[in-house]
Structure 1
Amino acid sequence: MLAAQARRDLAGARLETPDDALAAALVAGGLTLRRAATDMRHELTDVPEPVPLPAGWSWGTRRVGTTTWPRGWRAAYGPDHPDGPWQPSDTAEVRGMFERAEPVPPLLPASARVVGPDGRSAGHVLAAGPVPWTEDVCAWILNLGVAPAAQRRGLGRALLGHALHGARAAGLPRVGLSVADGNPARRMYDEAGFRPVARVLTVALPGDDGSPDALP
């Protein structure tokens, strides 16, 4: 009954719920589970020491260039990423943050990209905060990724540490993020001191006309 009510009242919307039974009922009714993830928090009272970058690697500018940041995003979010490949709509959304502060501006002290010896972007962390979609006051790591060719050098831990220290320097009490099931970065977040606070299952509901869900 609850699944039917959700389909009726939230037609055309993206439903995010911690209720496994509700999500299972919707999927059994023919809908698609878009994402299964865990929301996590880090209380910034105890922040790990910064991780230095390896020799030859450096921090790049936070400005969104026409090729630098987008190229790094595409490399880090390849077709095998748990959240899927990076899309042009993702680039447009992030550009909106930097250029028009929509829906929220980036938290620049907690955002950065890493540049390899060849001058190319090899990893990034993008944060915002405080964000309006949480009940607690926190910075939010929107995405963090390292290109496959640059992995196993500690760049992910360096980027995560940069975000934590940057959020604390900005005066925010904690950092939140959402990590999809199957993402190997979960181990890194656990080791850095993040704790799980909620399970979030995402199902896209069809519109009133019965059309299949088309949400990304």
Structure 2
Amino acid sequence: MPVRPHPDAPDDSLLLGDDGVPLARMRVRDDDGTPVAADVRALSEAPLNRLVAQVRRDLAGHRLETPDEALAAALVADGLELSRAATDMRHDLTGVPEPVALPDGWSLGAPGWDDDLAEGLDAAYGPDHPDGRWQPSDTDEVRAMFDTGEPVPPLVPASARLIDPDGRSTGHVLCAGPVPWTDDDCVWILNLGVAPRAQRRGFGRALLVHALRGARAAGLPSVGLSVVDGNPARHMYDAAGFRTLKRVLTVRIPDA
């Protein structure tokens, strides 16, 4: 059995070599049908070339997430592609900023989804965005959160839509929490986006501060997010008091 529960940490698993020697520690989960090997860490005595071969065979079809730069580099050197490089961040909800005053006619409304918001996010996430284009599957996932609560329901107090003077949705912050993919009971910012026509006016910060204050009002201890390398929003998160938690490098392991 190549993957077995960790004897001393029931939430963790071990990837074993053919001889039964543990090669890596990780957490295995399912993300809406996609198997994920998360927080994969090579054990100190495991040769990387041996671990890479075992990963390609026994974790075929998985999305592998690791903070281990050396492991990610070894997988890339073996011909795989680094699909995402990001930083997980946390805000401990101390020193939360005051609400941001909005220009006349603009407001933060109840969270939800509509065609105006879909159009705005599609324009915001263009081909040059570090996170890539907004996809129809992204719209389907957001709609499912509101319609069925799957894979997680929105945390309403920490989520909001940005409404322009004409009553149209122009951006949003979408949060959930607690979420099953973190070790703590944090609120997770799933998406924060503003349509291009409303950018560079402080609305992103207004939405972010709303999420922080809403999380605190909901009684949860912290707020987390993942920001991909090269995303200019990183400066906004730093300024709002988020701290770096860990790096997360993602490699998709092809099917055998």
Does the TM-score normalized on the shorter chain lie above 0.5?
yes
Give the SS at the match of 1:145: strand
1:186 to 216, 234, 237: 234
Please name the residue that 2:65 is paired with: 16
Letter in structure 2 aligned against 1:107? L
Distance between the aligned counterparts of 2:112 and 2:173, measured in 1? 13
Q: Tell whether 2:149 aligns with 1:101.
A: yes
Letter in structure 2 aligned against 1:204? R
Deviation at 1:72, TM superposition (A): 2.7
Larger CA Rg, structure 1 vs 2:
2
Q: Higher RCO, 1 or 2 (CA under 8 Å, sep at least 6)?
A: 1
Distance between the aligned counterparts of 1:128 and 1:13, measured in 2? 24
Distance between the aligned counterparts of 1:91 and 1:161, measured in 2? 24
Please name the residue that 2:199 is paired with: 151
State the Cα deviation string for residues 154-200 of structure 1 (Å, max 9, x = none): 00100000000011111101000000000000010001000001100
Contact 2:111–2:172 (CA<8 Å) still a contact in 1? no
Contact 2:117–2:169 (CA<8 Å) still a contact in 1? yes
Distance between the aligned counterparts of 1:40 and 1:200, measured in 2? 11
Structure 2 gap ranges (5+): 1-49
Letter in structure 2 aligned against 1:50? P
Distance between the aligned counterparts of 1:174 and 1:72, measured in 2? 28
Following superposition of structure 1 onto structure 2, how do residues 21-36 of structure 1 map, counting pairs within 5 Å? 21-36=70-85
Following superposition of structure 1 onto structure 2, how do residues 120-139 of structure 1 map, counting pairs within 5 Å? 120-139=168-187
Please name the residue that 1:213 is paired with: none
- Over the aligned positions, Cα root-mean-square deviation in angstroms equals 1.2
The structure whose residues are more often strand, as a share, is 2
Contact 2:109–2:163 (CA<8 Å) still a contact in 1? yes
Distance between the aligned counterparts of 2:214 and 2:253, measured in 1? 37
Deviation at 1:81, TM superposition (A): 1.3
Deviation at 1:68, TM superposition (A): 3.1
Contact 1:17–1:201 (CA<8 Å) still a contact in 2? yes
Letter in structure 2 aligned against 1:182? G
Distance between the aligned counterparts of 1:122 and 1:80, measured in 2? 20
Distance between the aligned counterparts of 2:97 and 2:110, measured in 1? 23
Distance between the aligned counterparts of 1:82 and 1:118, measured in 2? 30
Please name the residue that 1:175 is paired with: 223
Please name the residue that 2:104 is paired with: 55
Give the SS at the match of 1:4: helix
Q: Tell whether 2:159 aligns with 1:111.
A: yes
Contact 2:85–2:228 (CA<8 Å) still a contact in 1? yes
In percent, how many aligned pairs have the same letter? 73
Task: Kindly report structure 1 stretches of 4+ aligned residues shifted beyond 3 Å.
Answer: none
State the Cα deviation string for residues 70-92 of structure 1 (Å, max 9, x = none): 22321222222110010000111
Deviation at 1:143, TM superposition (A): 0.8
Deviation at 1:118, TM superposition (A): 3.6
Letter in structure 2 aligned against 1:31? L
- Larger mean CA deviation between 166-175 and 23-32 belongs to 23-32
